[in-house]
Amino acid sequence: MGKLDRFTPTSPLKRLVWTIGIVATAFMVMAPVYLLVKYSISDMESINTGGLPVPLWPYHPTFAVFSYLFTDPEFWQVVLNSLWIAIGTVLLSSLLGVPAAYVLARYKVPFRRAILIGIISVRLFPDISSVIPISVFFISLNLYSSFSGVILAHTLLALPYVIFIGMSAFEGIPRDIEEQAMTMGANQFQIFFRILLPIAIPGLAAAAIYTFLLSWDEFIFAHFLLDPGGKIQTLTLYLRSRITFQPPQNLLAAISVCLSLPVIIFSFAVQKYMISGMTAGSVK
Amino acid sequence: MSELIIKNIQKFYGDHKVIDKLDLQINSGEFVTLLGPSGCGKTTLLRMIAGLETIDGGELYIGGRKANNIPAQKRRIAMVFQSYALFPHMSVKNNIVFGLRIKGMELHDMFTRLDWVLPLLGLEGLENRLPREISGGQRQRVALARALVLDPDVLLLDEPLSNLDTALREMAMEELKRVHRQVGKTIIYVTHNQAEAMTMSERIAVMNAGHLEQYDTPGALYRHPRTMFSAEFIGSPSANFIPGTIEIKNGELVLNSEIGLLEIDETRKDYLRNFSGRSVVAGIRPQDIILSSTRTHRRASDSHVTLGVELIENHGDRSFVLGRFENGLPVRFMAANDSDYRTDARVEVLIDGRCIHLFDPETRQNILEK
Ligand SMILES: Nc1ncnc2c1ncn2[C@@H]1O[C@H](COP(=O)(O)OP(=O)(O)O)[C@@H](O)[C@H]1O
Ligand SMILES: [Mg+2]
């Protein structure tokens, strides 16, 4: 019996309930996406209908707001800023998190439990409550309104994920493999860089993608750490700055579409990594 | 020089003594098997030799060098793990040359070794496959190839065939013997399977609960088990044990056992006279209990015993028979298939006194083999 058989309903009634469930779920997931896309290509007439119900599909679909966005140099500047911050966060959190994950997964670290709880506790507080002390601290370190400040803050947010995902990636590698390399003459560095790291890459890549997205759409820390009138703005701050007294809904939707694009792209990319089996075949 | 000497070696896990003052000497080029039940410490001993476990007492010499404190990387040993531990992200070829790369070998020499080992283990054509893309038997051969190219002083194999099915295992056994003949390396092979040990090894170290029970050639182990444990563990099915006492009856030395009087072989009588009155356990191999109907000539050392047949397991040419002596003691023996016996029948069997091993019930040592 295949794995799927268990979930395939046999009786017509079960089949009906099952189908309704799937359709309802799909609707809940797709409805906001649909609204977002619809508004982003709506003409003003389809938004300000003057009392008439808003149409399900714009009367005259148009990419006008996208053209406006894509020709706005400020838009490109904030996209680039967000990109640099996200890439910086990925690099820094990997640089710090991956070795930490390896050591926590493989060595007898004193106070291991306390350290793990400490790491996870960063995520136990709501961002909004930790953002004030961190901002004050960063300002005292001259990190206010700088790339490094935001990157550091985002790294702080991402590290627990990198460390925990990384740990499970390293823990999944049988010890035999390491010991085998040892008997073949490899030292700890060679074992780490030639054996463990390449095997852990799928897990670490998932953590990196997650980190990228976390930084890309992070708002609170960026908001507190970057001067609202300053030179450095991120895409989320740019979106916020457009929400005025009477916000142009199609423009906001278009920015949101741009904000969501990496999420969609990476979700498809990650699928490939989710196919485990990297370690299959190494140990029976 | 690649002989291996283990002197008085010990290993503790906390208070738990896993290896207890074990001595073992393995000659250069010898194929030695560590044989024993699960949990007796075989893997631990092997890992101590490899340098993956610390040695808590005693000495280890590899090729004349004291190796207690030499790190695993520098011991000139190669180990094949039970799991094979192939590097999953590397092709077969890269798995095999990994150790040579680490040692900084010239590319040219590396390929020479590769060209030698691939045909030796029948791995041609698989060089670029990943471990997950080859079969279990092929993985086992890659693991062996990866160890052999290192040209180690000693090759350590931890149950390398236990993950293979029976047919593959037999092939792999043949192959391993052939490889040993061709490369002449000192091999220490670990298994809990006595048949494997008997077919492959020049000498077998029988281990039990962290100590050495007996260290002998397969033939000597079979014919002269030094302890009850050896007698039970070596040979299949395992030996029958029958309690009794050595007595003098009508001036003759006999074994008064729970299944009746058993003759003692003439050549042993002088020696055993000192033991008269002593309790013993007689160990009799299933192969040494013979249906009377199949033997025409009688020997003075033969004893006749009747038993009831309870279960017959056909093995093709012969059958494995489970029965019960008249006193209720169960017995296992082998019988030719052309002879006449059925379930529930009573049959008479012969036990040759020359084939009886006698053990001290206290020390469980063989009182004849010192
Ligand atoms: N790392 C360890 N910590 C504690 N006990 C261990 C450890 N490794 C093995 N043992 C114990 O040592 C004994 C021998 O184990 P092992 O050498 O693996 O036996 P074998 O290979 O003969 O099956 C077992 O009782 C096992 O439970
Ligand atoms: Mg073992």
pLDDT at A284 over 80: no
Give me the helices (H) in chain A, please: 12-40, 44-47, 64-70, 73-106, 112-121, 127-140, 147-171, 175-183, 188-190, 197-216, 220-225, 235-242, 249-274
pLDDT band at A202 (very low <50, low <70, confident <90, very high): confident
For A18, the domain range is 2-40
Atom of ligand 1 nearest to the CA of B207: 22
Question: Is domain B4-233 annotated with CATH 3.30.70.1710?
Answer: no
pLDDT at B286 over 90: yes
Average pLDDT for residues B156-167, to the nearest whole number? 90
Count of alpha carbons within 13 angstroms of residue A221, beta-carbon side = 29
Q: Are residues A108 and A178 in the same domain?
A: yes
- CB distance from A275 to chain B under 8 Å? no
A87 to chain B, closest Cα gap in Å = 26
Six-digit token pair at B152?
A: 């180690």
Residue A250 domain flag: yes
Total count of domains within chain A: 2
Q: Are residues A9 and A76 in the same domain?
A: no
Q: Are residues A140 and A275 in the same domain?
A: yes
Q: Are residues A85 and A34 in the same domain?
A: no
DSSP A103-135: HHHHS--TTHHHHHHHHHHTTTS-HHHHHHHHH
pLDDT band at B1 (very low <50, low <70, confident <90, very high): low
Residue A60 domain flag: no
Residue A178 domain flag: yes
Q: Are residues A81 and A7 in the same domain?
A: no
Q: Are residues A35 and A155 in the same domain?
A: no
Q: Do B83 and A174 touch (CB under 8 A)?
A: yes
* Residue of B13, B20, B82 with the most ligand 1 atoms within 8 Å of its CB, for mutation: B13
What is the model's pLDDT at position B370? 66
Complex-level ipTM: 0.87
Residue among A173, A183, A191 at smallest CA distance from B158 = A183
pLDDT tens per residue, range B263-284: 998 888 889 988 999 999 999 9
Q: Which residues pair with B305 in a beta bridge?
A: B349
Percent of chain A having pLDDT more than 70?
A: 92
Tell me the domain boundaries of chain B.
4-233, 240-359
Q: Are residues A248 and A139 in the same domain?
A: yes
Q: Are residues A157 and A262 in the same domain?
A: yes
What is the model's pLDDT at position A279? 42
What is the model's pLDDT at position B33? 97
Cβ < 5 A residues, ion ligand 2:
B 43
B39 C-beta closer than 6 A to ligand 1? yes
Q: Are residues A81 and A28 in the same domain?
A: no
Superfamily grouping for domain B240-359: Nucleic acid-binding proteins (2.40.50.140)
pLDDT band at A152 (very low <50, low <70, confident <90, very high): very high
Residue A62 domain flag: no
What is the model's pLDDT at position B154? 94
* Residue of B44, B46, B54, B188 with the most ligand 1 atoms within 8 Å of its CB, for mutation: B44
What is the model's pLDDT at position A7? 61
pLDDT at A186 over 70: yes
Residue A48 domain flag: no
Average pLDDT for residues A201-218, to the nearest whole number? 91
What is the model's pLDDT at position A53? 82
pLDDT at B17 over 50: yes
Residue A232 domain flag: yes
pLDDT at B219 over 70: yes
pLDDT at A8 over 70: no
Atom of ligand 1 nearest to the CA of B44: 17
Q: Are residues A36 and A158 in the same domain?
A: no
Q: Are residues A136 and A26 in the same domain?
A: no
Average pLDDT for residues A133-153, to the nearest whole number? 91
Pick from A244-258, B56-70, B73-87: least confident: A244-258
